Chain A
């Protein structure tokens, strides 16, 4: 067997994982790997302008494609710049593998130039992390990292590569099986639990389903919809679950929680049996957890045992892959269930949904209206990413998603600046569909420098800035709960987003009316360069419905 350097082995191992793209920025401690990438045609490297964006782009790539996203950075500041992106992927269970350069082994622990303890730093925000201690570690570590990132509950994995491990040569073994004794994800649901859950559901008067991101990771949309239709059970989704059921489906209730739809927030508490699948009862979803569905019998399906009973104690826990669990439930229920008629309940739900629709029929450049107009223009498989704040919640509430993996948003960490780099990753994964970042002016300024990579690397996306010149969501809280004391939320009149876009070689368009908005979006879809559409909206516009923090989800402010 031939000797090979660690750097070569790394690239070889990545090829074996069928990696097609790496988002990254080079630096001293990772140069040997970059030197090998220079000759590697099979793997595209996208040079980002900030490592945070490299991590978000890898995350966006992963969420759009269902494959592992890869990012790379040098030691020290390169590695620490990745941290927000890794934490974001961790909170939203996104399969990302991050590589960091590290100082040579002999320097570790000596506070060498650009040394940082990235293993220590990322231990609580990765599913697992490794530091290679010799070149021949690299092939199996890469295999293990991809396996860990993409199986069970997905999540980010980091591999730290001391520089001399990249340059050193050893015999390499690429085909060893990785055996991780402490990691055995359980995919198959327990038949007895399925039986109990099926009994409960078969006898339910008002069964309701809450579907989360796990349904999307497990590619379980079909199974979810089949079960919902069989049970005639309405489906509310978490932010991460948006898209797992088409939002024009009669059983779709839309988003649940702090900014849930009226239909979701009023229907879920009526359930006598609640089937929660691939979701974790986050505080943003449940509102006051003590008052969340106190009378419902709860069935909780999750692949992560530690989610069972963490926030809410279910009556029937099912630790399993969402797809298999939903399929098993369907198979049990189809035998014991007659199709249910629930026309009275269903027509009430339809009525609540109609109320919601009416909220997006305001005149002028109101964000709900903009979202509705945008939906009419975009094809159903267009991918939406969002920033964080009001923009995100307007998109979640008023821009319908029809397919899984078409709505990508920072749910758990709520990272401003996520949407734009994530849109670049999504566009690399799906070059043939329009990718649109619904942005806030504040958020976009956190990662806008990657307009440079989008132009240079020819990754054309559309950024729609809902431009209120405010850190709008914070300002909304100040308006509602802090007596309109706008402490540090006014952003002022700069920058000029059109000039900003143009400075990077992107296109900038200002729109002043709905018809201009329509025209601008259509033009942007035809453009082969990134377009920033600046839409001025009223600075005092609120996102409604909203449940005040700590309240139960039925207590909505509807505006």
Chain B
């Protein structure tokens, strides 16, 4: 598969049971498709989980991914989300070195500008919670690098279409 190409967001409803994540990730591995990010959690419908997968590739690859996903019996519905009309969010927890008071207040200031939150304070570090689209989080992390980033945990993207367009099962 083309390593470069456009980013696509695939939203799928899957049976909420053991082994489904394995089926999906194994299919990607076997067919040589690359997962950029994947998030899984309960959906609005009982017994169904929502898997949000982002991949990079050309249109043909994405079409194949969607077909192969649909072929899995535990995958109930698959939609490709149009980035133009989709709300995407990611959450990151970032621990930043704050050796002295000046750095500490700089970090707090930047966090406020980025509309993040300080969620944990230690004597020489702060933990910041940041949500937003992935670019914003990446930008914040870049900014923090000059202070020294100790740990990062990012969730990967989750997404839903805006307005009336639905990914629900009919």
A residues contacting B by CB (< 8 A) are: 119-120, 123-124, 127-128, 148, 180-183, 304-306, 308-310, 313
Contact = CB atoms under 8 A, between A and B. Distances in A.
A123 B23 contact: yes
Contacts of A183: 73
B72 interface: yes
Contacts of B67: 305-306, 308-310
Given A180-B73, A181-B76, A182-B76, A306 B15 contact: no
7 contacts: A123-B26, A181-B169, A306-B64, A306-B67, A306-B70, A308-B67, A309-B64
B3 interface: no
B70 A123 contact: no
B63 A309 contact: yes
A538 B30 CA distance: 41
Nearest to B47: A181
A304 B70 CA distance: 10
Contacts of B71: 304-306
A181 B76 CA distance: 6
B32 interface: no
Contacts of A128: 73
Nearest to A180: B73
B73 A306 contact: no
Most chain B C-beta atoms within 10 Å of own C-beta, residue among A127, A306, A310:
A306
Contacts of A148: 73
Contacts of A313: 60
B81 to A, nearest CB: 20
A527 to B, nearest CB: 45
Most chain A C-beta atoms within 10 Å of own C-beta, residue among B15, B60, B63, B73:
B73
Contacts of B60: 309, 313
B75 A182 contact: yes
A304 B67 CA distance: 9
A312 to B, nearest CB: 12
Given A120-B22, A123-B23, A182 B15 contact: yes
5 A-B pairs with the lowest CB-CB distances in the bound complex, closest first = A306-B67, A182-B76, A183-B73, A306-B71, A181-B76
Contacts of A119: 19
Contacts of B105: none
Contacts, number: 41
- Interface size bucket, B side? 20 to 34
A547 to B, nearest CB: 26
Contact of A182 (B27, B30, B74): B74
Given A309-B64, A310-B64, A127 B30 contact: no
Contacts of B22: 120, 123
A119 B17 CA distance: 14
A148 B71 CA distance: 12
Query: Chain A binding site: helix, strand, loop or mixed by DSSP?
Result: loop
B138 interface: no
Given A180-B73, A182-B73, 17 more contacts: A119-B19, A123-B26, A124-B26, A124-B27, A124-B30, A181-B169, A182-B14, A182-B15, A182-B74, A304-B71, A305-B67, A306-B64, A306-B67, A306-B68, A308-B67, A310-B67, A313-B60
A180 B23 CA distance: 16
B33 to A, nearest CB: 12
A119 B26 CA distance: 13
Nearest to B20: A182
Nearest to B65: A306
A305 B63 contact: no
Contact of A305 (B23, B70, B72, B169): B70
Contacts of B19: 119, 123
B30 to A, nearest CB: 5
Contacts of A127: 73
Most chain B C-beta atoms within 10 Å of own C-beta, residue among A181, A182, A305, A309:
A182
A456 to B, nearest CB: 38
Contacts of A305: 67, 70-71
A148 B70 CA distance: 15
A183 B22 CA distance: 18
A416 to B, nearest CB: 24
Interface string B63-99: 1100110111111100000000000000000000000
A464 B39 CA distance: 56
Interface string B41-66: 00000000000000000001001100
Contacts of A304: 71
Nearest to B60: A309
Contacts of B64: 306, 309-310
Contacts of B26: 123-124
A308 B66 CA distance: 12
A338 B73 CA distance: 44
A162 to B, nearest CB: 15
A309 B64 CA distance: 8
A345 B14 CA distance: 52
A309 B27 CA distance: 17
A183 B14 CA distance: 12
Contacts of B23: 123
A440 B30 CA distance: 32
A181 B45 CA distance: 13
A262 to B, nearest CB: 34
A182 B72 contact: yes
A181 B14 CA distance: 10
A366 to B, nearest CB: 42
Contacts of B15: 181-182
A207 to B, nearest CB: 27
A309 B62 CA distance: 12
A310 B32 CA distance: 13
